[in-house]
Amino acid sequence: MSALIVIDVQNDFCPGGALAVPEGDAVVAPINAMMSEFDSVILTQDWHPAGHSSFASEHPGKAQMATVEMRYGTQVLWPDHCIQGTHGAAFHPGLNLDPADLILRKGYRRSIDSYSAFFENDHATPTGLDGYLRTRGIGTLTLVGLAYDFCVFYSALDAARLGYAVTVVGGATRGIDLDGSVGAAGNAMQAAGVMLR
Within 45-74, which residues bind ligand VGL (CB under 6 A)? 46
How far apart (Å, rounded) are the C-alpha atoms in residues 194 and 181?
A: 17
Residue in 133, 151, 166, 172 binding ligand VGL, rule: CB under 6 A: 151
Binding of residue 20 to ligand VGL (CB under 6 A): no
Binding of residue 46 to Zn ion (CB under 5 A): yes
For ligand VGL, which is the closer residue by CB, 163 or 171? Answer: 171
**In the annotation, is 14 catalytic?**
no
Query: Which CA distances in Å does 157 have to 82, 119, 128?
Result: 23, 11, 16
**Cβ atoms of residues 136 and 76 within 8 Å:** no
User: DSSP letter string over 101-168?
Assistant: EEEEEE--STT----SSSB-TTS-SB-SHHHHHHHTT--EEEEEEE-IIIIIHHHHHHHHHTT-EEEE
Residue in 3, 4, 8, 117 binding ligand VGL, rule: CB under 6 A: 8
How far apart (Å, rounded) are the C-alpha atoms in residues 9 and 64?
A: 21
**In the annotation, is 177 catalytic?**
no
x/- mask, ligand VGL, residues 165-194, rule CB under 6 A, reads ------------------------------
**In the annotation, is 106 catalytic?**
yes
* Nearest distance from C-beta of residue 1 to ligand VGL, angstroms: 25
* Nearest distance from C-beta of residue 113 to Zn ion, angstroms: 6
For ligand VGL, which is the closer residue by CB, 8 or 120? Answer: 8
How remote is the C-alpha of 71 from its chain's centroid? Answer: 22
Nearest to 147 by CA among 131, 168, 125, 161: 168
CB under 5 to 8 A by kind: which of Zn ion, ligand VGL, none does 8 bind? ligand VGL
Nearest to 32 by CA among 97, 101, 104: 97
Binding of residue 12 to ligand VGL (CB under 6 A): no
Q: Hey, CA dihedral for 24, 29, 34, 35, is it positive or negative?
A: positive
Task: Choose the binding region for ligand VGL from 66-74, 91-99, 124-132, 143-151 (rule: CB under 6 A).
Answer: 143-151
Residues marked active site are found at: 8, 106, 151
Q: List interacting residues with Zn ion (CB under 5 A).
A: 46
* Residues of the shown chain interacting with ligand VGL in the complex, contacts defined by CB under 6 A: 8, 13, 46, 78, 115, 146-147, 150-151
